Chain A
């Protein structure tokens, strides 16, 4: 807009104060002139002061006359308008066409033209404005007079209102929330939007015939109404989780926020309904899921910690609480490193938690071996652990779960197992495992030795039946193993066949080995070599038998002693009274006497032998024993004429383990024999020395009558006495040999013949008495 085009205030002022010029001519009749002037002035005044824009339009659409109001509205000066502007120049282009038509119609067919209409015009500055116009032909002319009122402000308000209404309407009808307006007194509905209709399944008309009490279940009405009243009072705006009743009788839950409004002096409550059924369902489901997860988590025997992607603790089960020393409440939201302190068992260096690895690799990772968990209170526990990612439905990792376990017990068990293994490995009996086909899969070193092998390879892969005597396999497989499986163990004695074929008596235990589920895995056996026990047992049994026999013999011998004494005594008394008349009886009486004396000798031997049998074993010092034997012989036979030499070439702590009484009887017997062979005078030489590392060598020489070859042949046979005149019983040497052999020894006799003495040789196992030996430090060092 140029400065020239600008409306000029001065001009405006001029025109506003100016006088209409039309018809103001000089020569007129004075009166008429005056009347006309008055009339013109009246019109002019009216024209200028109506407050309405008025223009007069020529047929050619030129504005011939305009008032100040019009000029003000349009922004032009009167001089710019009157006789210059056509109205079409002022009207907005869009309205020109139909207004031109109206212009024409008004002149051609005035009845068809609209007397009044709205149109749009533009001011000098180009602003679009609205006007309501009244147009009429001036009577008798083709001019028309138009008056218009600027309605721009009204129009704008109207438009604004319409737009806002449309917006609101769109908002209300398009809202996802249901909107219901209820009147406060009657609680009847006055407005319902489509969403609420859909929500309840009613049409709008149906809803508007209902009230608050119709759309909630009977049992919750009290609560609903209390919430309604609270909203009315403005105490609260949100009534959460209210049950609502659909037309079809089904229920749904809604959050209702309410607001009170006053329309035309009437109070309403507008309720905004949000259907939370689905949300509630999801929430419930979520809660249920979480509760299920929690239950699972809590019932797991391992410690479980779940973390978000930032390694912050989300959940922790009680086992994890116990092991870490943190409660779930305290730990929640904390960084894993603050809660779970894991160090290397040996170095005590911190071990990285596996979360970052899990996040990077996206799969389950185990934590480093030999991990030690340090609890909040400093308690250290060995743990085994692993970590796994948590995926959502789309396989995105949403967190990490760490699972770990206190291995303290396992470690103890492990240690215990090692200890037990050590015991088994050092046990000198046999411990072996076989699979269910009988193949040996384990044997301890003691077992390898017992079975006569040197290397496990010699035995492993063999079947256990290889070590059982052929005839006994069936009993093992058909009786003992089934018993062991049925009753958990079989115990008994049988024999073991070594790889060299030697059979040894053993005590055996057979037991099944089962896995955790109780399935048979292997058969185990423990075997103890009982050769020595067996031997001992047999010895014991023999010695028990002998003890009984010995007592019996002693009793019988003593009982016979008395009658024998009577027989001998009485016979002798009779013999003393023999005279020539009774002489024929003498010989027979002497036979009686001799027989009785022989009985006496037998009894004597039996008695002394009975004392030797069935006695316990002791450590016996041989030199002492021989001295005692000499003393004993001396009781019965005077030894004073015999020269005795006892030569001993063994250590003083040399001992023989055996039955002292029995061994004594052997030497008593031998020395008494020597004494008898020598008579009252002679030499008795006894030499004791070592035969080898295990046996002693004992020689008894006498200078007696010697032994001839006939005698030698029967020397050790029982009941054949070498003594003349029925002196001996034939038991002495026989029992002596028996005793020596029982002690693991040997005995034999030598003689260069009659009159050349005799030599008895005995070999006996010995051992060295174990005493307290105090070693010097030097000795100990030397041993090392």
Chain B
């Protein structure tokens, strides 16, 4: 548990429930407060309600994908930091998302350490 991580709120948006569970698990072990949304719409709602410091957003989701979700979030919230989750080696999507003010990206599948490193970088901790 890292003291710096205490009371930091992270919203994870991913359609894969097991992955949500995994990330929640890893991040909570580190001391973060984690909220999970399994689709874009819930993610937007939770972002409004919980006002997280950071969003980990999967780009590849059915119905509303990550880019669209981010668009909608950015319309009212330009403050929240965002880490996008992409497939391995997809520079195109990374560039697309870069325009929407993202802090970091993380390619799936990732090492647990990578997740924590990227989150730390994004939160400048």
Render A179-211 as a binary contact track against B, CB cut-off 8 A, 1 for contact.
Answer: 000000000000000000000000000000000
With both chains docked as a complex, state the minimum distance between the C-beta of A574 and any C-beta of chain B, in angstroms. Answer: 11
A293 interface residue per 8 A CB criterion: no
Quick check: is A632 within 8 A (CB to CB) of the other chain?
A: yes
Within 8 A of A (CB), among B77-125: 87-92, 94, 107-113, 115
Question: When the two chains form their complex, are residues B22 and A603 in contact, meaning their CB atoms are under 8 A apart?
Answer: no
- A558–B29 CA distance with the chains assembled, in angstroms: 27
Are B111 and A568 interface neighbours, CB within 8 A? yes
Given contacts A568-B109, A569-B26, contact A607 B87 (CB under 8 A): yes
Interface centre among B60, B90, B91 (most CB of A within 10 A): B91
The answer to whether the Cβ of A109 comes within 8 Å of any Cβ in the partner chain is: no
Q: B109 near A600 (CB under 8 angstroms)?
A: yes
Contact B89 A636 (CB under 8 A): yes
**Is A557 a contact partner of B87 (Cβ separation < 8 A)?**
yes
Q: A interface, how many residues as a size bin?
A: 20 to 34
B63 at the interface (CB under 8 A from A): no
- Are B109 and A632 in contact (CB-based, < 8 A)? no
Pick the contact of A566: B19, B88, B90, B115 (CB < 8 A): B19
Contact of A572 among B19, B87, B92, B111 (CB under 8 A): B111
Interface residues on B, range: 20 to 34
Given A570-B22, A573-B25, A573-B26, check contact A565 B109 (CB 8 Å).
yes
Partner of B110, one of A557, A568, A570: A568
Chain A CB within 10 Å, residue with most, of B89, B111, B112: B89
Instruction: Please state if A566 and B18 are interface contacts (CB–CB under 8 Å).
Output: yes
Whether A607 lies near B88 (C-beta < 8 A) is yes
Chain A residues closer than 8 Å to B115, beta-carbon distance: 569
- Residues of chain B within 8 A of A557, CB atoms compared: 87-88
How many Å lie between the Cα of A635 and that of B102 in the bound state? 14
Q: Which of A566, A600, A603 has the most CB of B within 10 A?
A: A566
**Given A568-B111, A572-B112: A562 in contact with B88 (beta carbons within 8 A):** no
B42 within 8 A of A: no
Please measure, in the bound complex, the distance between the C-alpha atom of A567 and the C-alpha atom of B29, giving whole angstroms: 18
CA of A600 to CA of B114, assembled, Å: 14
0 or 1 for each of A563-583: is its CB under 8 Å from B? (1 = yes): 111111110110000000000
Residue in contact with B89 in the complex, picked from A566, A572, A607, CB distance below 8 Å: A607
Mask, A471-508, CB within 8 Å of B = 1, is: 00000000000000000000000000000000000000
Residues of B within 8 A of A558 (CB): 60, 87
Contact indicator per residue, chain A 548-568, by CB within 8 Å of chain B (1) or not (0): 000000100110011111111
Assess A561 versus B89: contact at CB under 8 Å? Given A566-B18, A569-B26, A573-B26: no
B87 contacts A561, C-beta separation under 8 Å: yes
B108 pairs with A561, CB closer than 8 A: yes
- Shortest C-beta distance, A214 to chain B (Å), equals 124
**A-chain residues with CB within 8 Å of residue B48 when the two chains form the complex:** none
Verify B26–A600 contact, CB threshold 8 A.
no
Find the residue from B18, B19, B108 having the highest chain A CB count within 10 A: B108
Task: Please tell me if A438 contacts chain B, counting CB pairs below 8 Å.
Answer: no
The 8 Å CB contact of B88, one of A561, A570, A631, is A561
B16 at the interface (CB under 8 A from A): yes
Instruction: Name 28 interchain pairs, CB-CB below 8 A, sorted by A.
Output: A554-B87, A558-B87, A561-B88, A561-B108, A562-B16, A564-B109, A565-B22, A566-B16, A567-B109, A568-B110, A569-B19, A569-B25, A569-B115, A570-B22, A572-B112, A572-B113, A573-B26, A573-B112, A596-B109, A600-B88, A603-B87, A604-B87, A604-B89, A604-B107, A605-B89, A607-B90, A611-B90, A611-B92
| Nearest 4 A/B pairs, CB to CB | A604-B88, A565-B109, A564-B109, A572-B112
Using A600-B109, A607-B89 as known contacts, list a sample of 19 further A-B pairs with CB atoms less than 8 Å apart, ordered by residue number in A.
Answer: A554-B87, A558-B60, A561-B108, A562-B16, A565-B19, A565-B22, A566-B18, A566-B19, A568-B111, A569-B25, A569-B26, A569-B110, A570-B22, A573-B26, A603-B87, A604-B107, A607-B87, A631-B91, A635-B94
